[in-house]
């Protein structure tokens, strides 16, 4: 029995699935692969993603040359973010422009490419068995299911991740493929878009700063954030003047799956893979879990120092010799623009002010304060 109705438009024919299974099992030419049964179920996922239309497990069995074999695949539907429910919140006059700002095609092109064969030792990525266009604005990626350990990250794991992200950035082979998505993007687009259109106007609102949640946690930060908001063009210009290498674009621990039995990682979610300022991936590596409330901000400085030094060592291992202070300055500028200025918990302003909500606001304030301090220290 085959019931993959949960996939909706992301489904493929039984024949196409059997062909992907032949790839998954790496069967010799001429070996028959026939689908016996299959089912699909949604993957629970709490973090909103504006270019993701759905995630599913597809499981079943297939007759492979007369032998019944079980299989499992992960399917992800990727779409232009105009199809996200959040898109409707934008004023109609900016929607055509905004729709083109998020590189939704990049992930599919990454999985159609040979990037997996050129990653530095210690990094891998799921193998794609198919990328299928659904329509002009969406496609589905079918991936092998990879093993991953659910473990708490200690400083040494962060250090290892920083080193490998440095090698990823410095690798000539990775950089040669960093524009594979064909999406033109630089820091100024983020500043002109999200910062100036959304974040900075909210920061300028007196009502925001009188909100009890903000007044309690961010009371000492308004003058500093106001000054920083007035310098975004200069900060962006300085960041864009620094060396540009390859970047994953969202290298948070959630996207660095820990491989069993080794200090290696499986990289996932390549939607923002492109050429990026040096050190760009250190930002989400440092604060990704902290932003979500999964990790305390207490050890930000310790982890930051470990990650930054190991990132610079990773660059050097790939033959890229750049002074660590340059990397640190780039990291500080990136952290302020992409995290510090937007650290206020805008999404929690209408929530009941529980202890958990207040703790999240305090955590976000710590991130903002840390990013401001880092820019001051490196200037």
Given this model, what pLDDT does residue 87 score?
Answer: 84
pLDDT tens digit string along 90-104?
888 888 888 888 899
Cβ–Cβ under 8 Å, residues 44 and 59: no
Given this model, what pLDDT does residue 114 score?
Answer: 96
Given this model, what pLDDT does residue 1 score?
Answer: 81
pTM of the predicted model, to two decimals? 0.94
Q: Does the structure show a pLDDT above 90 at 183?
A: no
Q: Which residues contact 337 (CB under 8 A, 6 or more apart)?
A: 187, 190, 191, 195, 232, 235, 236, 239
Q: What are phi and psi of 302, to 5 degrees?
A: -65, -45
In the predicted model, what is the mean pLDDT of residues 185-208? 92
In the predicted model, what is the mean pLDDT of residues 64-87? 93
Average per-residue pLDDT in the chain?
94
Closest-CA residue to 336 (of 185, 218, 224):
224
Higher pLDDT, 322 or 193: 322
pLDDT tens digit string along 247-295?
999 999 999 999 998 889 999 999 999 999 999 999 999 999 999 889 9
């Amino acid at each position: 029995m085959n019931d993959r109705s949960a996939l909706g438009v992301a489904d493929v024919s039984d024949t196409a699935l059997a062909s992907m299974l032949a790839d998954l099992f790496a069967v010799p030419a001429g070996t028959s692969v026939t689908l016996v049964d299959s089912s699909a179920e949604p993957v629970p996922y709490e973090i909103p993603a504006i270019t993701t239309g759905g995630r599913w497990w597809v499981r079943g069995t297939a007759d492979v040359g007369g032998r019944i074999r079980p299989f499992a695949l992960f399917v992800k539907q990727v779409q232009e973010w105009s199809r996200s429910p959040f898109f409707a919140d934008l004023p109609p006059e900016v929607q055509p422009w905004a729709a083109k700002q998020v590189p939704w095609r990049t992930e599919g092109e990454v999985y159609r490419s040979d990037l997996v064969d050129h990653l530095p030792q210690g990094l891998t990525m799921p193998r794609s068995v198919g990328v299928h266009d659904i329509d002009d604005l969406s496609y589905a990626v079918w991936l092998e299911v990879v093993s991953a350990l659910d473990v708490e990250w200690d400083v040494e794991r962060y250090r290892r991740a920083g080193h490998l992200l440095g090698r990823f950035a410095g690798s000539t082979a990775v950089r040669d493929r960093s524009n594979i998505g064909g999406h033109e993007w630089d820091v100024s687009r983020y500043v002109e878009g999200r910062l100036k259109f959304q974040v900075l106007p909210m920061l300028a609102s007196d009502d925001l700063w009188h909100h009890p949640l903000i007044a309690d946690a961010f009371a000492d930060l308004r003058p500093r954030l106001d000054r920083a908001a007035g310098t975004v063009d200069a900060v962006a210009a300085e960041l864009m003047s620094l060396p540009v290498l390859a970047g994953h674009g969202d290298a948070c621990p959630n996207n660095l799956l820990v491989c069993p039995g080794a200090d290696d990682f499986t990289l996932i979610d390549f939607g923002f893979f492109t050429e990026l300022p040096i050190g760009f991936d250190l930002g989400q590596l440092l604060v990704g879990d902290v932003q979500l409330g999964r990790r305390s901000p207490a050890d930000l400085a310790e982890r930051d120092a470990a990650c930054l030094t190991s990132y610079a060592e990773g660059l050097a291992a790939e033959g890229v010799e750049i002074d660590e202070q340059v990397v640190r300055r780039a990291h500080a500028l990136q952290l302020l623009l992409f995290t510090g200025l937007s650290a206020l918990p805008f999404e929690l302003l209408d929530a009941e002010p529980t202890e958990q909500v207040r703790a999240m606001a305090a955590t976000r304030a710590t991130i903002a304060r840390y990013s401001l301090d880092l820019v001051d220290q490196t200037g």
